[in-house]
Structure formats: structure tokens, C-alpha cells
Amino acid sequence: MPAEGDSASGAPVVGGAAILARLRAQRAAAAAAGAPAPAPAPATSAPPPAANGNATPAAAAPVTEAAPPAQAPASPPAAKPAPATAAPAAAAAAAAPPPKPAGPPAATGGAAILARLRAQRTTKAAAPPPGKQLVVLYASQTGTAQEIAKNIQAEAESRGIRGQVASMNEFGFEHLNPEEAPVLVYVASSTGDGDAPDNSAKFYATLRRKSHPEDMLAGVAFTGFGLGDSNYTRYMYVPRSIKQRLLDLGAQQFYNPGEADEVDGIEQGLDKWLEGLWPALRAAVQLPSQDGAADGDVGDAAAASAGQAGAAADGDLKGVPPLPRCRVRVEWAAADAAAAVRAAEAAGPSAGELSARDPAGEYSAEAPFWAPVGAARYLTTELSDEDRQVLHMEVDLSGSGMQYAPGDSLGVLPQNDPALVDTLLARLELDGEAVFDVAPAEEAADGGGGAAAAAAAAPHQERLLPHLRAPCSVRAALTRGVDLTGPPRKSLLRLLGEHCAAPEERAALLRLCSRDGRDEYAAELALRPSLLDLLRRFPSCRPPLPALLDALPPLAARLYSLSCSPLECPGKAQVAFTVVRLTTPQYGTHHGVATSWLHRQLDAVARGAAPAAALRLPVFLRRGGAFGLPPDPATPLLMIGPGTGVTPFRGFLQHRRGAAAAAAGGGAGEPRGAAWLYFGCRREDQDYLYREDLEAFASDGTLDRLEVAFSRAQAHKVYVQHLMQQHATELHALIAKQGAHVYVCGDGTGMAKDVHACLAGILQSQGGLSEAEAAAQLQEMTRQGRYVRDIWS
């Protein structure tokens, strides 16, 4: 593929996009050479006043942050006086802008000398802590594995074990060796049906290459923890593959890897695994046994450790997690570089990005294909409930090289709501137009590392927070880089609590992230608070920008099942999605990030008020794995998909019809197995999605049986499982005697469980199986790929 910022035709990119591309290229080249990357012309190299919010704070020091001068858009947030609880010595930074005129005066006299001494301190490396270095890596799509990994690293540090935490892609496979990663802990999940998460895909693909020598990782000691969902056919595929590949390459386990199934809940299995991790980890890094707190007291020792000042004051709380160390600092750009970056952002995707083509069609979240929108329409009527708008979208894949099959998904890269970003900028008193780059944070001197730690991180600098695509403006980072509305992880609550000036607010946040506050945390999550909701609820909270960017998970791509077949829609991809709106009594109405973003883009097109041709969306393909048509068309199909769960089955049926037409045209009348579809919606006249298509499939013989449940068309609710129970005898024959493949797609919180219970009940009532035997048969069907689910919460 052409390099970022380069045109596929060879025409050079000019203006702001060219400058931005050069800045990124210089940083990557410097990082590859092992030298610190050049900052985008920092506005100042002098140390900032104490408590500047753009410094990386020491663990114990709350820091405030204010907006830059209104007349100097390239300036970053300036300093405000630190709250009384702040430790001034913890707020020094390596590079920051001049203070806001209304802020504190520049340091003079003794303060200036102290500031210079602090700056000089960064050039002298402190003696590193004893023992081998720990590297904690994560492969995380939703943020859960990332959260666990960060907590492990923070807890390890509180126990005197030095180390770092990063996504697998950030760390880079080339640094996985006995010198740079002598002791490794990984936390890994899968996405889709056994695919590596986006932030680990490159690392994972390199790890799995067969060309590596068998002793490549000899001298690396490792353990890991896997997250999975047994609803999927390739359960734990990525975590187990990582473990096996590490062993194949000569690494040695120092502690048995653990696993947790989301179906049963993660916390209990994780807690048990962590209890045994600490003594094993201490031995692996070759530290002497601790006196005092037992290794199994997860979290309690951390709360009272020297690096967590203030936590001891909350000694009545059990299991307050240690504060993860911020890995980054921001370096602010001077006016000319900042103006170039803002110009490039305002212009949107560059000519090179828009024209980029991969003959193999291998696009990704990092390098998407910018697809023109072909069409959009509403599948629900105007009578439909406000929370049930469903949109159909078509994008043009012509010339992209992408080839898909029924069951695959279309990945879309969303952006946060501009109104939400504006409100958050105002709440944090940040200038959205300020431009920054990301650099490794220097550890506090008492943490053991200083400039040496920053230098050690330099090879990885080009991968620090890669989702921000720095240098970028603060507005761009919050718009496209980080997830602002996802459920708050405990590490984020811990960070927010650390930066509350009001003691009662700090205590409330620490309780939410403590072991004692587990029930309160679950209740809070049920209310679905966003970052902005929490900042409004705790008005004294002023988290610094670097720590916030490091704590928030990346804004992940969203995957939508393709609702078409290439046999009937060549060169096009179609999807359907519900525009998500959720209302809670505490925090009001929340809008889904991706579906609301798509709705804002497509609403005028769907209403016929604007042409589609001007719109382009960043997309890529994700393979469906086991969720696809069986290779033998004679295999019967049982498809169950209420709501937008029907979308992949429209693609299945289009493909089935197209294949039959092609076979008939060639004179081959190949046999086809029976095809049944159970669809459910609320009301026939409001949200019967793809009605014309489904009824056409039934009338032309593509679909042998179409059963539709209307849940609110009568006094008592009727769902798909109720119709399935009415056809128990026929369904048992289809599954047990004819060998049908069973597909379930849709809501995983209620529908999928009810359908699973219904299938088990049919096997019991019609097949004479016990409850345990029915469960075992469904499990065996899952293993064989005959019972496949694509479900979401």
C-alpha cells in the first residue's frame, strides 16, 4: 500500500498534509534508529510551573489543568495553582507551553533554581530497582484485557517489581527477547470468531510465522491469562495460540496460564489466578520474598505502598487498586507546525488515503478503505418507537480488491459526537485546537529509572498510543482516538479519584474501584455513565491530559454483519444497524457512538434530502470464520435472527439463490437442503426488517419456511423461541436426523440464552435426552461448527 500521505498515482501531497506526514515519518525513523523522536517543534523547552496539568504526575499528586490563552490557539492548557493536596515536586514536566496570562507567575529566584535542578535530574539515570524487568502485554478489543494488564503492572510495581505495560502492537514483536522481555505476562482475548484484537493483530501474525528458529525465545519466562466466550466456536483461540507459540519458540512457563469464560463471569477466575501469580512472579524476576504483606493480598499491599501516597488514608477500604503509572507525556507544537496539523485535520483524509488501494484487499482499522456511500434507507417506519430506528447502508467496494463471503462483517471506524467533545473540552478547560505529540513519560526519581526509563522506551515511541495518530490536535484525539462513552474501568475511576481536590469525591471514587465497593461499582455500571457524566458528578476532578489519554481505551472499530452476497451485489457491501439510544434515570439519554455517528452521516441521504455520492466512510472486512454457509449446499439450514440479527441471513439467502441460479444456468441441478428462518420484531407495520426480501425468498423457494414472531402485536408477548417450541417435532428432525447447521444471531443478553434453552428443551422432549446429554450434544455441535452463534450485548 502507498505510505500514509502519499498518492497512489505518485503525486506528492502538499500543504498541511505533507508537513504532518513528514512529522510522523521523522518520528518513526528516529524511533527505528533507537533515538528519541523529534517533537513537532515544541513551543518551549523550559520546565513549566509546578502543577502544570500537562506534566506526568507522580502517583500521589493530584494535578489541575486549565485552558490555553484564547488568542494563542497553538498553546496547550496552561497551569492553574495546584490544590492544597497536590505535591508540587511531582508536577515537573519535560516540555510544556507558557502559562495562561491569568495563571500563576513564572517561577523566579529559588523556585527557578529548583525547576532547573528538576530539569537536570532527568539527564541522570537513577539506579534501577533490582531484579529482572517485567513486561505486561495485552491483546484487547473491548478494553477488558487492557484493564487487567494495567492493573497487573501497577500492582507489580507496588510490590517492587519494575516493568512496563503495553498493547502487543505497541511493544512490537521485534522487542520480544530475553534482553528486553525476560519475564512476560500477557492478557489476551479474541474478537470475532477467534481473531486477534486490532491492537495485537500485527504482533500476533508475526508470532505465528513458522520461519522463526525454535530457540528464538529461550530465556524468556512467561505466563498469561485468557479471556473468552464459550458461545463462540473457536473459544480461547488467540490466548491458547499465544501460549503454544511461546512454548514452541523456547520460552518457559513460570506459572500456569489462566482462563476465564465471560459466560460464567471473569472476576472469580481472575482473582484466584492472581493470588498465585505474585509469589511466582517474584521468583521469576529474582526478587527475595517480601516481608510483611502476603503475596496473596492483592491490592491491599499496593494501597499502602510508598508510591501510592494518600491511599493509606483510605485504609478502611479493602483492595483499592494501585494507581497505574502514566506512560506518556505530551509535547506541544509551535505555531507553524500546529497550524499545519490543524489544516490537515480540517481537510479530512488525504488524497493518498482516499486513493490507496491494496490489490489483495487486506485493509484494516489502521489502514482502511475509504468507500463511497452508495445508498441509505430506513428499514423502520415513522411509526416505529424512537429507540428502534434501523438504517440500511450500502457502500461501493469497486476497485478496492476486497472479496467477501456471506457471514463476513464490515468494520467501520466511528467518531465521537462533536457536541460531546466540545462539552468535555470545556469541562476540562482544554483548548481543542492545541497540537501535541506523544513521548515516553519519565519516571519519578524514586521510581527508579528517570531519563534511563524514558530512553529505554524510545524504540517503542512510534507505537505509543498509536490510535491517536499524533501529532494531532486535542480535539482530534478526543474525537477519533479514545472511547469517551464506554463503561468506566476501575483504573479510570482510580485515576479520577487521584485528581479530585474534594476529599469526599476522592473517597467516593476510590470506593467504587475498591474490592469493598464491588456491589456499588456494578450498580454504577448499570447506569452506563460516560466520562463526562463522572466529571459532572465529581466537579473537583481535574485529570491531566496525558494520564487521561493513557487511561481511556482506544475508540474501537465497530463490526456489522454483511446483509448481502457478492453473487447478487457484486462490488457492493450492505449492512443494517439499529441507532442505539439508552436512557437511565441518573444520567439521561446516551447515544451509541458508532450508530449515532453513522446516523448523522446518513440521515439526509436516507430521507432523500442529500445525495450519497459525496460521502465516504473508512471501512475494512472481517472474516466470519465459522459463521458462514456450509460448503455442501445440500446441508439444511436453521437460522434464528430477531431484529438486526436477520442481516447475515439475508446475505446467506441471496447467496443460496445466486448459487442455484448459476447452477441452473450451467445445466447442473444441484440438490439443496431445507432452509428455515425464524425472525422476530415488535410490530408488523413498524420494524419488519427486509420484509420484501424475506417474503420473496419464501415465494421463490430459496427459503422453505419463514416464521415471524411479532412480540407486541397482541396482549401477550411472542418471541422466536415460542414459535420454535410449536414446531419442536419438525425442528428435532431437521437437527438430529438431517444434520442441519444451526445459526443464531442477535442479542446475547436475553434472546440467545432463551433460544439455547429452547434448543436444549427440544433435544430433551423429542430426542429423549437428559438435561446433561442435551447440553453435551449442543456443545459437540458447537465444536463441529454445526451450532454457531454471533451475538452481542
pLDDT digits (tens, 9 = 90+) for 177-213: 999 999 999 999 988 778 899 899 999 999 999 999 9
Local confidence band at 80 (pLDDT 50, 70, 90 cut-offs):
very low
Give the per-residue pLDDT at 716.
86
**Can you tell me the mean pLDDT for 511-528?**
92
Strand partners, 410: 560, 621
Local confidence band at 97 (pLDDT 50, 70, 90 cut-offs):
very low
Judge contact between 481 and 468, C-beta under 8 A: yes
**With 80 as the cut, is the pLDDT of residue 495 above it?**
yes
Q: What is the DSSP string of 64-88?
A: ---PPPTT-TT--PPP-PPPTT--G
What dotted CATH number matches 637-792? 3.40.50.80
User: According to DSSP H, which parts of 500-553 are helical?
Assistant: 503-512, 518-526, 531-537, 545-551
- Looking at the chain, the whole-number percentage of residues with pLDDT higher than 70 is 76
**Can you tell me the mean pLDDT for 386-394?**
86
Task: Dump strand ranges (E) for 3-98.
Answer: none
Average pLDDT, the chain: 81
* CA distance to 151, 307, 629, 718, per residue, from 742 (Å): 40, 54, 10, 21
**Can you tell me the mean pLDDT for 684-702?**
96
Sheet with 675-681: strands ordered across: 705-710, 675-681, 637-640, 741-747, 787-792
Local confidence band at 764 (pLDDT 50, 70, 90 cut-offs):
very high
**With 70 as the cut, is the pLDDT of residue 268 above it?**
yes
Q: Where in the chain is the domain with CATH 2.40.30.10?
A: 365-414+557-622
Task: Note if the bond before 471 is cis, omega within 30 degrees.
Answer: yes
**Can you tell me the mean pLDDT for 42-63?**
37
| Selection from 746, 793, 152, 271 nearest residue 528 by Cα | 793
Chain segment 769-781, per-residue pLDDT in tens: 999 999 999 999 9
Give the per-residue pLDDT at 18.
54
| Selection from 242, 130, 133 nearest residue 183 by Cα | 133
Give the per-residue pLDDT at 4.
31
**With 80 as the cut, is the pLDDT of residue 66 above it?**
no
Max alpha carbon distance in the chain (Å)? 94
**With 60 as the cut, is the pLDDT of residue 50 above it?**
no
Q: Is 261 helix (H, G, I), strand (E, B) or coil?
A: strand
Q: Where in the chain is the domain with CATH 3.40.50.360?
A: 134-287
Give the per-residue pLDDT at 668.
61
Query: Is it true that domain 134-287 has CATH number 3.40.640.10?
Result: no
Q: Where in the chain is the domain with CATH 3.40.50.80?
A: 637-792
Does 791 or 432 have the greater pLDDT score?
A: 432
Give the per-residue pLDDT at 100.
39
Q: What helix, strand, coil percent values describe the chain, rounded to 5?
A: 40, 15, 45
Give the per-residue pLDDT at 462.
54
* Orientation angle between helical segments 267-284 and 144-158, nearest 10 degrees: 40
**Can you tell me the mean pLDDT for 142-159?**
92
First to last CA, the chain: 35
Give the per-residue pLDDT at 21.
59
DSSP state of 319: -
DSSP state of 560: E
* CA distance to 237, 478, 536, 545, per residue, from 423 (Å): 41, 11, 11, 15
CB-based burial label for 768 (10 Å; 0-12, 13-18, 19+): exposed
Helix (H) or strand (E) run with residue 247 in it: helix 237-248
Chain segment 547-605, per-residue pLDDT in tens: 999 999 999 999 999 999 999 999 999 999 999 888 888 888 888 999 999 999 999 99
| Selection from 587, 605, 154, 568 nearest residue 378 by Cα | 605
C-alpha cell at 58: 507522580
Give every CB contact of residue 136 below 8 A, 6+ residues apart in sequence.
Answer: 149, 150, 152, 153, 156, 163, 164, 165, 166, 184, 185, 186, 187
Distance in angstroms (rounded) separating the CA atoms of residues 791 and 747 = 6
Give every CB contact of residue 402 below 8 A, 6+ residues apart in sequence.
Answer: 361, 363, 369, 573, 621
Q: Which amino acid is at 316?
A: D
C-alpha cell at 96: 510544556
**Can you tell me the mean pLDDT for 108-127?**
39
Chain segment 205-217, per-residue pLDDT in tens: 999 999 999 999 9
Distance in angstroms (rounded) separating the CA atoms of residues 655 and 305 = 61
Q: How many helices (H) and strands (E) does the chain have?
A: 25, 22
Give the per-residue pLDDT at 132.
82
* Assigned architecture for domain 365-414+557-622: Beta Barrel (2.40)
Give every CB contact of residue 28 below 8 A, 6+ residues apart in sequence.
Answer: 37, 462
* CA distance to 24, 425, 479, per residue, from 469 (Å): 8, 19, 12
Q: Is 468 helix (H, G, I), strand (E, B) or coil?
A: helix
**Can you tell me the mean pLDDT for 693-718?**
93
Lowest-pLDDT choice from 110-124, 582-596, 614-628: 110-124
- Looking at the chain, the whole-number percentage of residues with pLDDT higher than 90 is 60
Judge contact between 165 and 327, C-beta under 8 A: yes
C-alpha cell at 647: 442481516
Distance in angstroms (rounded) separating the CA atoms of residues 544 and 77 = 10
DSSP state of 736: I
Give the per-residue pLDDT at 443.
54
| Residue 475 phi, psi (nearest 5) | -60, -45
Distance in angstroms (rounded) separating the CA atoms of residues 446 and 453 = 12
Lowest-pLDDT choice from 84-88, 470-474, 780-784: 84-88
Judge contact between 113 and 81, C-beta under 8 A: no
Give the per-residue pLDDT at 263.
78
- Residue whose grid cell is 448459487: 659
Local confidence band at 244 (pLDDT 50, 70, 90 cut-offs):
very high
Judge contact between 684 and 717, C-beta under 8 A: no
Lowest-pLDDT choice from 16-30, 275-289, 371-385, 754-768: 16-30
Give the per-residue pLDDT at 387.
63
Of 49-53, 313-317, 379-383, the range with the highest mean pLDDT is: 379-383
**With 60 as the cut, is the pLDDT of residue 84 above it?**
no
| Residue 170 phi, psi (nearest 5) | -60, -45
| Selection from 229, 232, 195, 241 nearest residue 785 by Cα | 232
Lowest-pLDDT choice from 297-306, 407-416, 524-533, 618-627: 297-306
Distance in angstroms (rounded) separating the CA atoms of residues 168 and 466 = 12
Distance in angstroms (rounded) separating the CA atoms of residues 102 and 671 = 80
**With 50 as the cut, is the pLDDT of residue 115 above it?**
no
Rg over alpha carbons for the chain, rounded to the nearest Å, is: 28
Judge contact between 650 and 563, C-beta under 8 A: yes
Does 163 or 763 have the greater pLDDT score?
A: 763
- Residue whose grid cell is 479530585: 500
**Can you tell me the mean pLDDT for 734-759?**
93
CB-based burial label for 288 (10 Å; 0-12, 13-18, 19+): exposed
**With 70 as the cut, is the pLDDT of residue 404 above it?**
yes
Give the per-residue pLDDT at 27.
58
Local confidence band at 319 (pLDDT 50, 70, 90 cut-offs):
confident
Does 451 or 481 have the greater pLDDT score?
A: 481
Of 69-78, 282-291, 464-473, the range with the highest mean pLDDT is: 464-473
